[in-house]
Each structure stands twice: as structure tokens, then as C-alpha cells.
Amino acid sequence: MNDIPQRAPAPAFWANRWCQLIIGMLCMALVANLQYAWTLFVAPMNARHHWGEASIQLAFTIFILTETWLVPVEGWLVDRFGPRPVVAGGAICAGLAWVIYSYATALPQLYVAAVIAGIGAGSVYGTCVGSALKWFPDRRGLAAGLTAAGFGAGAAVTVIPIANMIARSGYEQAFLFFGIFQGGCMFVLAMLLKKPAARQAVAAKKKFAVTKVDYTPGQMIKAPVFWVIYVSFVAVAAGGLMATAQIGPIAKDWGLAKMPMTLFGMTLPLLTATLSIDNICNGFTRPLCGFLSDKIGRENTMFLIFIGEGLALLGLMQYGTNPYAFMTFAALIFLFWGEVFSIFPAICADTFGGKYAAANAGTLYTAKGTASLLVPLASVLSASGGWNAVFVTAAVITIAAGISAKLILAPIRARWIESSNDARHNHDIDASPLSSLAGADE
């Protein structure tokens, strides 16, 4: 008899954490069109059904709110059942929503599809970001940034084929084909996703303070430090959204929108060229600032970037009537703003642990939805005080958030992590009112 113990089979190559990160980025790229390609369908849809653009755009608002506010529930499902079933369900919802869009003949059908699309996009977004945080406790900023960058990269690759199909075959065919294609590809990729076991995850480096206690979402929202982080997220997201949402109207009011600009041998209207550069900056900054926050600390990065955002807003206000200055400062606004989608998930996991990272980051992500409700304030400000009022308000909010990150958030978070770790070290964790269910990683 051969008593030599049998060696366990080697794990599949896609179980490697870098492969898991790439799979998550691909899923994010495939689901991105639900948000970024929508604008291509509005005019053709209105031309066909004459619903009115405002009524059609209501579907997009429903989509954004559904995507944002259900992420905590979807994150809870990820923490409980793993990423595979949640992304698979999200893929089905995403594909089904676009198929319904293609057949919709009445606005209620459009709105139902928007809810389904929001569930699908939120499932994929929340899962992929949450899984990245778990696989990379030593590089949370970089991992979350790369994953979030995939959300914009997908639209950049597919927007031209979608536009061409709409022009060639009609918007219905584009919805149908790309809905089935994107949903099918995401479903296949979902089968490759894995939930990292504690022994598989790489231990976090001790360069910066990281909690050793895992808090559930219910415990997290009872912590004052969470609300300091949440308010900071809302402030920066609202300030950035208020400005970025008005780039088009501002360019038109200043007579710059259709001005021809030549870049890299191509001549484009200034607004088109600006938006193209802005989207590149918006994607590039997520892994860049995430990497930076891994090196110099979350609050230090927030201090530099948020103040930079405020100064870029003031620069656009002061010098934006010059076409080159307009393009430069608009790009800087997007460069300094897009990083919120990498730094805030990372700081959330650092502060409240990795075990429930998907649900916790999803709960914090609702700040984006809260911030979006404040965006109409820009229209009110511009009507009463002109564009300068919008810029000054947004700049003050973001600069204040940067200063508070250093002077208020940093010491509060340091004390919170120290007290949590001390309580765990002293085997007195049950004495904490926020930690009855917290414990070590599975």
C-alpha cells in the first residue's frame, strides 16, 4: 500500500488575487454602459415615441437611485454568499433591462427596466469593489481604484460601436444586442469569481493604522467616525457633481462649446475635446490616488486632493474664459474629483475591517446618492448668483472637506482604531456596544 499522502490539487490560475482583480475590472467595464452609454439612446428614443426627453431622463434618475441605494443590500449578500451569485444575478438583471428597453412601448415599461438595470449595476459595482478590498488588504486604495477605473474604461471602448449600431440598425437593435452580449459575458465571468478565505488574503501592512476588528454595517453606522467619513464623502461628491454636471452649460454660456480645438492632429469642438480629456482624467485618478493613499495615508491624500479640487474650481472660475485654461482646469477638476471612488472604500475597510467590506463600502456608497440630491442646488445658485456662485460654493465645500480630513477625521479615526484594537487585545471586545457581533475573519 502506498501511504504517501496525496497532495491537494493546485488552485486554478484564476483564483490568484490579481486574476480576481482583473475579472472584477472586466465585469465593471461590461456594466458601465448602463450608465455612460445611456445618453446615446435618449434622442433616438424620443424621436421614435415622442415621450419627451425629460420623461425619458426620469428613467436614468430612477436607475441611479436604485443602483446607489441598494448597494448595501447587495453588499450584505456578497459578504454572506460570496461574489459569484451576486454578480451572476446582476448580469441577468443588466441584460434583461436592456432587452426590456428595446421592446418598451410605454414609459412605465421604461421605468421598470430602469429599476432592474439599477439592481444589476449595483450588484456588479458593489461586489467588485468589495471583493477587491478583501483580496488586497495591503493595497486597498490601488485595488479599489483599479476596479472603479474599469467602470469608465468599458464605456470608452464600446461607446463607438454602440453609436454605430444605433445609426445603422436603430436603438432597439443596439439595446437588444448589447444587452444580451454584456449580460452573457458578465455571467460567464461571474463563474470565475471566488470569495477569499482568511488564509488566502494577504495580511495588511502595518504602515498605517488598520482595525483588527470586523464591524457589521449595523455596528458601523452607530460609530461617530462613520458619519464623519460619510459627511466628507457627501461634501466632496456634491461639490464635484455640482461643477462637473454644469461643464456643458458653462462652456455654452461662455461661447466656448463649439470653438474648434486641434489636439494630437484631430480638430474637435472644444466641449467634445474637453469631455474626452475629462473622462480620461476621471478614470486615471482612481488607481493613481488609491496608490498614493496606500503610500502616504488616506487622510493625507484627502487633504492634498480635496484642496486641489477646490483650487481647480476657483481657477476655472477665474481663467476659464480662455479656451486652453478652460480645458486645463476642467481636466484638473475631474482629476481631483474621481478619486473619491477609490479612497473612501479603502478608508472604510481600514476603519471597520475586511470581513463585511462589501456591505460596509456599499453603505458608505449611498453618500453618492445623497450628494446627487444636492446637485440641483447648482441650478438655483447659477440663477441667482451666476456661475461664480456655483464655483465658489463647490470650492468652499471641497476645501473644507480637505482641511477637516486632516484636522478632524484623522485624529478621530486614529482614536477609534486604537480603542478597537486595544479592546480586542485585552479580550474585552464584548464590552464595546458596537462589537457584539464583531470578530476575526472567517
Q: What is the pLDDT of residues 95-148, one digit of tens each?
A: 999 999 999 999 999 999 999 999 999 999 989 998 998 899 888 999 999 998
Residue 341 lies in a domain: yes
How far apart are alpha carbons 350 and 214 in whole angstroms?
Answer: 10
pLDDT score at 300: 94
Same domain, 273 and 316: yes
Boundary (domain end) residue, out of 175, 190, 205 = 190
- The pTM of the full predicted model, rounded to 2 decimals, is 0.79
Same domain, 322 and 389: yes
Mean pLDDT of the region 170-199: 90
Residue 149 lies in a domain: yes
Residues 6+ apart with CB under 8 A from 40: 159, 162, 163, 166, 171
Mean pLDDT of the region 4-32: 78
Residue 6 lies in a domain: no
Same domain, 308 and 369: yes
For residue range 65-91, list pLDDT tens digits in order. Answer: 888 888 888 888 888 888 999 999 999
Backbone φ and ψ for 321, nearest 5 degrees, come out as -70, -15
Same domain, 127 and 233: no
Residue 95 lies in a domain: yes
Of the candidates 106, 100, 120, 108, the one whose C-alpha atom is nearest the C-alpha of residue 172 is 100
Same domain, 122 and 254: no
Residue 204 lies in a domain: no
Residue 29 lies in a domain: yes
Residue 206 lies in a domain: no
Same domain, 143 and 48: yes
Of residues 64 and 6, which shows the higher confidence score? 64
Q: In the predicted model, is pLDDT for residue 12 greater than 70?
A: no
Same domain, 249 and 175: no
How far apart are alpha carbons 142 and 138 in whole angstroms?
Answer: 9
Asked if 44 and 173 count as a contact pair (C-beta separation under 8 A), the reply is: no
Residues 6+ apart with CB under 8 A from 355: 79, 214, 439, 441, 442
pLDDT score at 5: 52
Q: Using CA atoms in the order 74, 301, 405, 143, what is the torsion angle rounded to 10 degrees?
A: 10
Lowest mean pLDDT among 173-177, 377-381, 415-419: 377-381
Same domain, 386 and 265: yes
Same domain, 20 and 143: yes
Same domain, 266 and 319: yes
Mean pLDDT of the region 326-346: 89
For residue range 167-182, list pLDDT tens digits in order. Answer: 899 999 999 999 999 9
Residue 90, SS3 per DSSP: helix
CATH number of the domain at 18, please.
Answer: 1.20.1250.20
Residue with cell string 451569485: 85
Give the number of domains in the chain: 2
Q: In the predicted model, is pLDDT for residue 184 greater than 80?
A: yes
Mean pLDDT of the region 311-337: 91
Mean pLDDT of the region 333-338: 87
pLDDT score at 275: 76
Boundary (domain end) residue, out of 190, 225, 242 = 190
User: Residue 218 corresponds to which cell in the numbers above?
Assistant: 449595523
Domain of 251 in residue numbering reads as 217-431
For residue range 228-285, list pLDDT tens digits in order. Answer: 999 999 988 887 777 766 777 788 888 887 888 777 677 778 887 887 787 788 888 8
Same domain, 94 and 235: no
How far apart are alpha carbons 294 and 393 in whole angstroms?
Answer: 30
Same domain, 145 and 234: no
